[in-house]
Amino acid sequence: MKLLHTADLHLGQHLMFADRKQEHQSFLNWLRDLIINEEINLLIIAGDIFDTGTPPNYALQMYYRFLMEISQIESCRDVVVIGGNHDSVSTLNAPRDILSVLNVHVIGGITENPEDEIIITKDDNGNPTAIICAVPFLNDRDVRKSIAGESYSEKSQKLMDGIKEHYNLIKEQALTIRSKKNLKVPIIATGHLFTVGGSTSEGIRDIYVGSLSYFPVTSFPEEFDYIALGHLHKPQIVGNNSKIRYSGSPIPLSFGEISHPKQVIIYDCSNQEISEIEIPVSRILKQIKGSLTEIEEQIAELIKIQKEIWLEIHIIEDEYKGDLSSTISTFVENSELKIFRIIDVKGNFRKQLMGTEEIIPLSEISVIDVFKKRLEAEQSEFDEETKSELFQMFNETLNEIYGEKGEN
C-alpha cells in the first residue's frame, strides 16, 4: 500500500489583501494527477484543511470537488482527513456521513469513543491493508482537567501527559484490533501539534506555550510504522526519525515561508520507502532587500521576467527618505509586480535616535507578541509568577477561540 501525506492546506486563506484561490486550485489539480500517476492507495490530510472555522463558499466547493475527484480514482480507495487548530470540528464533521460513502474518513475532533479514531483501509478484494490511528488536533480541554491552584508548569506537564495518554490509548485500540483479527498490516498515525525540535516558520502561532508544551517525539508510541503530522508549515523529519514527518503546507502562506521548497510525502508500506515530491510553484513570492537604489535595480531585473510576482520589500537606509511607499510604487508601474508590504528596517532605530516613540505596525507582530509587550509594560504591577499565570490564561483563551474558529 502507498500512502500520500499532506497537510495545512488552509483553503480560503488570504495573504493580506489577496486570496490564494488560484494557487490552491493549482495544487489540488497537481495532487490529483500525482495520485493517479503514482497509484496512491491512501491520501492523508493532517489538519488545517481550511484557514478559518467559517471558510468562504469557494473554499468549501474546492474541497468537496477535490474529494469527489479523488473518489473516482481507481487506485485511491481511502482518504483520511483530520481536524487542525484552524478547523471547526462542526464544519468538518457536518458532511462526514455523506463523505464516508466515498471512503472519505473525516475525524474533525476527538469523541467519547476512542475507536472512532481507528480506520481500517482495505484493498479491492476487501482485505485489510493498514490500521490508521487518525488523531486530530487535541485541544487543552480535550485531554486535561483544570484544577484550581495549578502552576503554569503543572498545567503544561498535564497537557503533555494527556496527549501522550491519548496516543497510547489509540495505539492499544489498534494493537487489539490487529491481534484479534490476526492482521499483518502497518499501523499509521496522524497528528496536528508541535513537537520538540520542530522548526517553525513565520505565521505559526503557538498552540501550546512554553518548552514543556512541545510534545516530545519520544512520547509517540514506537508501534507506529509512520506518523503523518500537520501544523508546522516547513517540511521536516522529527527527532531524526524518518518515519515521523511534517509534510508542510503546499503553498507558502507567508513571505517567511519562501526559503524552503514545498512538498508532499509518499510512504510505501510494502518496502518502507519514503519519497519527497516537490510541489511546482504556481505563483512567485519574493523578498527583496537593500537600499532604495538597490531595490530599484532588483525590481528592474524582476520586471524582465514578465511574470506576476508578489513582493515583500525590506528597505535598509540609514537616513530618512520620505514617503517610501510612493517612491517604490513608481518602480513597479506598468508591470506584473505587486507590492504587498514595505518594511523600513532601520526606521524604528532612527526614531529612537530622534527620541521619538517606537512604533511597530501590528501587521509585523503576532497576537502573542502584543500580549507579551503589554505584560512587560506592567513590570511594577505583577511578579514573574503572576505574569506566567496571566500568559497561560491568555493562551488558553486563544486556544478556545482558534481551536474552534481557527482565526488569526
* Residue of 337, 293, 340, 299 lying closest to 317 (CA atoms): 293
- Distance of CA 239 to CAs 4, 135, 199, 393, Å? 21, 20, 11, 30
**pLDDT given at position 392:** 67
- Distance of CA 358 to CAs 267, 344, 351, Å? 50, 13, 6
The one-digit pLDDT tens for each residue of the chain (408 residues) are 999 999 999 999 998 889 999 999 999 999 999 999 999 999 999 999 999 999 999 999 999 999 999 999 999 999 999 999 999 999 999 999 999 999 999 999 998 888 999 999 999 899 999 999 999 999 877 777 666 666 767 777 788 888 999 999 999 999 999 999 999 999 999 999 988 755 555 545 444 433 335 788 999 999 999 999 999 999 999 988 999 999 999 999 988 889 888 999 999 999 999 999 999 999 999 999 999 999 999 999 999 999 999 999 998 887 766 678 888 999 999 999 999 988 887 765 445 444 444 455 555 556 766 777 777 766 556 666 676 667 767 766 765 555 433 333
* Residue of 145, 272, 174, 162 lying closest to 219 (CA atoms): 162
The stretches of 227-366 forming alpha helices (DSSP H) are 292-303, 324-331, 347-353
Query: Phi/psi of residue 114, each to 5°?
Result: -60, -25
Give dist(CA 199, CA 256) in Å, integer. 13
**pLDDT given at position 355:** 46
Q: How many CA atoms within 13 Å lie on the side-chain side of 267? A: 23
Give dist(CA 219, CA 183) in Å, integer. 25
Give dist(CA 302, CA 308) in Å, integer. 10
**pLDDT given at position 318:** 75
The stretches of 304-383 forming alpha helices (DSSP H) are 324-331, 347-353, 367-376
**Whether the Cβ atoms of residue 210 and residue 156 lie closer than 8 Å to each other:** yes
Q: How many CA atoms within 13 Å lie on the side-chain side of 329? A: 6
Give dist(CA 140, CA 161) in Å, integer. 11
Give dist(CA 335, CA 226) in Å, integer. 47
Rg (CA), the chain: 23
Name 289's bridge partners.
314
Helices (H) and strands (E) in the chain, counts: 11, 17
**Whether the Cβ atoms of residue 363 and residue 343 lie closer than 8 Å to each other:** no
**pLDDT given at position 320:** 65
Relative to beta strand 241-246, strand 263-268 is unpaired
**pLDDT given at position 259:** 85
The stretches of 38-106 forming alpha helices (DSSP H) are 57-71, 89-93, 96-100
Domains by residue range for the chain, with CATH: 2-278 (3.60.21.10), 285-405 (3.30.160.720)
Name 90's bridge partners.
none
**Whether the Cβ atoms of residue 189 and residue 169 lie closer than 8 Å to each other:** no
The stretches of 144-219 forming alpha helices (DSSP H) are 152-180
Give dist(CA 227, CA 56) in Å, integer. 30
